Amino acid sequence: MKKVVSVFGFLLILALGTTSVSAQQDPQYTQYMYNTVAINPAYAGNRGVTSIVGLHRSQWVGLDGAPRTQSLSIHSPIGEGKVGLGLSIVNDALGPSQETYVGADFSYTINTSENGKLSFGLKAGGHILDVDFTKLTLFDVTDPRFSQNIDNKLSPIIGAGLYYHTENFYAGVSVPNLIETEHFDLSNNSSSVIARERIHYYGIMGYTFDISDQLKFKPSTLVKMVAGAPLQVDLTANFLVMEKLHLGAAYRWSAALSGLVGFQVSDSMLIGLAYDRESTDLGDTFYNDGSFEVFLRFELFNEYDRMLTPRFF
């Protein structure tokens, strides 16, 4: 496999030696509505059962060094359900860099009305960064800034979130990491390159409409803000047929169109697939077969729990 010169984010900036790296760095998810705990710790335990979610995303397939993300999370209510605990692990690779996030999630839920519940969440953990500069094709192989790889650089993670839901509506805001960490500073006499972890702000909202006994409409939206990158807005329309088949489409504002499909294999298991096609010049100009995302959710409960608390988000 040929060595990589990434066409994305900080890799071009590293090669050109500009002053700073400021980009949208957190992993991107099309099926965010099934993987909410990855971006909002207040969601931990909110499904009312022990929930395990695994997800894989291959972005911009066909481009060398394109982003690849794997995430695994488990969360559950504790005791009477006011407290939720969770653990999330995310591995994110881009070109010569690989980042691993490990975070413990804690939530506390209060009743705001007969049907409304508000959860407060905290996340704490660590972030490990590895960068292998030998995977780059450098213009100047003697450049001292790229002579030493970055191995297992550890940074702290502290995050927070709010999540509100009723039987049919949910909304949340979160900041998965409140700490801006400088990962490395590559400098010489003429230029400097600084890679900094930027604070990401998330907002999520959705509603479940009962169209008939066999059909539900579930629109949702995700908004992500980070300094140095355009505002990202995902608009998603999902239909649930006979509480088994999920069919939907999504639009990432000025970025991509997506198709989503999922199937409730059993009360415990849900599997889903999403495909994104770029609507930007990246999809037209570069060799790019789109982005693929697959997830599996497995939940542990008894039939009594399932009858009393069916959850559609």
pLDDT in tens, 4-42: 343 333 333 333 333 344 444 688 899 999 989 999 999
Averaged over 287-302, what is the pLDDT?
87
The answer to whether residues 129 and 101 touch, using CB atoms and an 8 Å cutoff, is no
Averaged over 37-56, what is the pLDDT?
95
Domains in the chain: ranges and CATH: 9-307 (2.40.160.40)
pLDDT digits over 202-213, tens only?
Answer: 999 999 999 999
CA–CA gap between residue 75 and residue 59 (Å, rounded): 26
> Which of 197, 72, 29 minimizes the C-alpha distance to 127?
197
Q: How far is CA 209 from the centre of its chain?
A: 25
pLDDT digits over 148-178, tens only?
Answer: 777 778 889 999 999 999 999 999 999 999 9
**Beta-carbon-side half-sphere exposure of residue 26 (alpha carbons within 13 Å):** 23
| pLDDT, position 8 | 37
In this predicted structure, the answer to whether residue 187 has a pLDDT above a threshold of 80 is no
Choice between 233 and 306, residue whose per-residue pLDDT is larger: 233
CA–CA gap between residue 283 and residue 311 (Å, rounded): 36
pLDDT digits over 82-130, tens only?
Answer: 999 999 999 999 888 889 999 999 999 999 999 999 999 999 999 898 8
Averaged over 269-286, what is the pLDDT?
81
Q: Which residues pair with 103 in a beta bridge?
A: 88, 125
Indicate the average pLDDT of the chain: 83
Least confident among 127-131, 185-189, 194-198: 185-189
Neighbours of 111 (CB within 10 A): 10
Q: Identify residue 140 by its one-letter amino acid code.
A: D
The answer to whether residues 37 and 88 touch, using CB atoms and an 8 Å cutoff, is yes
In this predicted structure, the answer to whether residue 191 has a pLDDT above a threshold of 90 is no
| pLDDT, position 15 | 33
The answer to whether residues 274 and 31 touch, using CB atoms and an 8 Å cutoff, is yes
Choice between 25 and 236, residue whose per-residue pLDDT is larger: 236
User: pTM of the predicted model, to two decimals?
Assistant: 0.85
> What HEC string does 172-191 produce?
EEEECCCCCCEEEEEECCCC
Q: Identify residue 59 by its one-letter amino acid code.
A: Q
| pLDDT, position 133 | 74
Averaged over 59-82, what is the pLDDT?
90
Q: Identify residue 48 by its one-letter amino acid code.
A: G
Largest CA distance in the chain: 69
